[in-house]
Structure 1
Amino acid sequence: MNVVLISEHASPLAAAGGVDAGGQNVYVEHVARGLAAAGHRVDVLTRRDDPALPAAVEMAPRLRVHHVDAGPPCFVPKEALLPHMPAFAQAARRLPAVPAADVVHANFFMSGWVGLALQRRLRLPLVTTFHALGLVRREHQGAADTFAPERVEIERTLVRRSERIVAECPQDHADLVRLYGAAPGRIVCVPCGVDTSAFRPGDRAAARARLGLPAGEFVVLQLGRLVPRKGIATVVEALARLPSTMPLRLAVVGGEARDPDPARTPEIARLQALAQTHGVADRVHFAGRRERHELRDWYVAADVFVTTPWYEPFGITPLEAMACGTPVVGSAVGGIRHTVQDGRTGFLVPPRDPGALAARLAVLRAEPALARSFGAAGVRRVRAEFTWDKVAADLERVYAAVRRRGPEQQRRPAAVAALSTAGCVS
């Protein structure tokens, strides 16, 4: 098939960990690579945010990334990108790969807006993955949500007009039905995945030596985008509830620069002040942003990976930690509640509850054998359920069900019908 992936703000070529670079970048990159490796022609459309970028980049055989001119060729926060989507859609129509597509897969609601325009003008079948839903975001962030109010109506239109909606976890499926009235028969559950060749268990002592981490400390790792909703403040507050005699370090990996810079990453400044207030500043260490090939050492070096967001549509970092054999303590929200099995691959705790988090960290510190068993179970779970090869194969079946091919287009193979519910069971 000829597949077009639209990802307006999240380029598969961007470094993860930046202000608007995270799980969606990883998702689009690995889905595109997996489909291309399976023999399909894949074209990824993303917005040009640097005038020096070439018009197109060949990422791999049969895989090309197009930098689409839409708005100024510089960084623009994704909250401000919607007015530039008409220009994006107009430029996309001029790319030869787009009219030739068998299916368009839009990622995020603004890519969905473009997908709707292409569906209308070129009669292209549309598959949509939201990655996050506006009404869910409003429930958790309230006035802090600065996306345009049109977002919700765009999402409602996508729910009605997409041939298939890809839910990433059971909570995503439930929210689509509860908040948007989505028809369950149009929803297919396909999770995110992990590159198990890049993220795998290793020698903790050797990883710590490479990173300059002390051998005798209990290392708690937080890795990803540094924004308030990720709940890192909860981790800092949890440290204050643990004995001051415990040799403990919170390593925070992420931000806008390799060298931690509070000016460029305001969340660092906020967390530093919070750590100072709680008397744990000497236990909190900011490592700055790291490239993806460097992340495995951090996961392997840690005794436990912690992720306590207020809400999380899916969350790839817990899976990466599990793939490296590291137990996870995560918020019982969204995709984390699905991927982390409480009492088997780690612990689930309520969001914004530093007391509950501290209690679980104390258990893992006191019972290293339990922590090791969680780590081993996490490796098994990821390799069985969350590989990118499996994700690409599942999406391939979704595309085959809706691809542009005349009267047979509306047929829905039993394999795809099974996907609608198989992945949506907690």
Structure 2
Amino acid sequence: MKILLVSNMYPSKEFPSYGVFVQNTETILANEGFQVEKAVIQKKTAKWQKALGYAGHYANVIRKGMSGGYDAIYVHYAAHNALPLLMLKKMKPSVRIVTNVHGSDVVPEVPSQEKFQPNVKKLLEQSSVIITPSRYYEGLVREKYGVQTPIRIFPSGGVNDAVFYPDKENKKELMARFNLDPAFRYYGYVGRMDVGKGWDHLLHGFAQFLREHPELKQEVRLIMVGSGKDDAKFFKMKTELGLDESVIHFPLMKHADLAAIYNIIDLFIFPTTRKGESLGLVGLEAMACKTPILASRIGGILDYTVEGENGWLFEPGNPEDLARGLAAYEQLSDQQKSLAGQAAYQTAQQYEQKKIQSKLSAIFHELELTK
């Protein structure tokens, strides 16, 4: 079966984590014996580069779709790729499209993304199959669009256990790699400094936690990994809250370095407020390193987080509740923390890439039988 993989997100040397789940999907399909070709673009920062990139991308999608002889076109990110695919479908009605929707595809994060919604609905209606990352997101799609298209669940490429695995016994060596003081215990955050990611609520919650437990100010630190449109706001807020010594920031990292951070930290904090948090793969990556999570009670996170077993939940956008969660975690015994880490690891194994890849191939084999 010959598949054209379409996406406006794909990793590059400069941005190695950007759209890495699309690359993981490509690997999975190839491992399952499918012939995969790509029509993708990589991240650009300048507006003119983005404009030229999308123009070329759209033309490439239509050109390849018309002449490539593909059995299916598999698209990631319906919002930004719907236009050329709808044009292609009009010119070549026999084209069969499999649409993977996640994130802002269904729940726009900013007003400018609303303009894509009519085309998203049309693309989902004209797709042969829709793929969503979680049961939660499947419900959102059905509720919002009312489509009759079959929906299947596949968790965003899964977790690569060749990269994300427990390495707690080497924690001191890992700390030395990042010049971290082993005298402290560390919490962690990984995500963009951007709208809806909850980095601001995390800073406020962590500041409140330290105010209420001043004795821990010389025991714990918060590592925050990521960059984004709100970088300037992040650094300003960190200073205003008196957290310059207590919060350690790193910019975007390669996956191997992220795995080291997940192993260094005792607790991963996932403060998203996005209703469109379709799965939350970073939470599963942390769990794969035997690190439990403290996460917002929202979105696809609820598909895999069991309160009090592999993690804990707090009210989205509520710094006070987040601070209470941190305080409750500090009250746990070492054995309770260890059991939570083990349960987190067992959960992540259910999403391991090699274990789930057959689910994706089954979707395409099912499509092949309906020709």
Q: TM-score, normalised by structure 1?
A: 0.77
Deviation by residue 1:163-185 (Cα, 9 ceiling, x = unmatched)? 111111122111111111123x6
1:206 and 2:173 matched: yes
Please show how residues 180-199 of structure 1 align to structure 2 within 5 Å. 180-183=145-148, 186-192=150-156, 193-199=158-164
Cα gap change, 1:208/1:170 in structure 2, threshold over 3 Å: closer, same or farther?
A: same
Identity of aligned residues (%): 21
Cα gap change, 1:129/1:375 in structure 2, threshold over 3 Å: closer, same or farther?
A: same
Cα gap change, 1:304/1:280 in structure 2, threshold over 3 Å: closer, same or farther?
A: same
Partner of 1:306: 269
Cα gap change, 1:98/1:16 in structure 2, threshold over 3 Å: closer, same or farther?
A: farther
Of 169, 174, 192, 2:139 maps to 174
Partner of 2:286: 321
Counterpart CA distance in 2 for 1:386 and 1:98 is 36
Cα gap change, 1:98/1:217 in structure 2, threshold over 3 Å: closer, same or farther?
A: farther
Equivalent residues of 2:163, 2:255 under 8 A apart: no
1:2 and 2:2 matched: yes
Structure 2, unmatched stretches of 5+, are none
Q: CA shift at 1:84, angstroms?
A: 7.3
Deviation by residue 1:30-72 (Cα, 9 ceiling, x = unmatched)? 11011112222111211266xxxxxxxxxxxxxxxxxxxxxxx
SS in 2 for 1:226: coil
Q: CA shift at 1:298, angstroms?
A: 0.4
Equivalent residues of 2:297, 2:316 under 8 A apart: yes
Counterpart CA distance in 1 for 2:178 and 2:154 is 35
1:249 and 2:210 matched: no
Partner of 2:69: 100
Partner of 1:75: 45
Please show how residues 214-233 of structure 1 align to structure 2 within 5 Å. 214-233=181-200
What is the aligned length? 357
Partner of 1:38: 32
Equivalent residues of 1:16, 1:26 under 8 A apart: no
Partner of 2:305: 340
Q: CA shift at 1:375, angstroms?
A: 1.1
Cα gap change, 1:97/1:210 in structure 2, threshold over 3 Å: closer, same or farther?
A: farther
1:90 and 2:59 matched: yes
Counterpart code for 1:290: M
Equivalent residues of 1:116, 1:126 under 8 A apart: no
Partner of 2:232: 269
Cα gap change, 1:351/1:86 in structure 2, threshold over 3 Å: closer, same or farther?
A: same
Equivalent residues of 2:193, 2:234 under 8 A apart: no
Counterpart code for 1:47: I
Which deviates the most, 88-97 or 152-161? Answer: 88-97
SS in 2 for 1:201: coil
Q: CA shift at 1:301, angstroms?
A: 0.2
Structure 1, unmatched stretches of 5+, are 50-73, 256-264, 411-426
Counterpart CA distance in 2 for 1:348 and 1:235 is 13
Equivalent residues of 1:112, 1:128 under 8 A apart: no
- Taking only aligned residues, the RMSD between alpha carbons, in angstroms, comes to 2.5
Equivalent residues of 1:32, 1:42 under 8 A apart: yes
SS in 1 for 2:131: strand
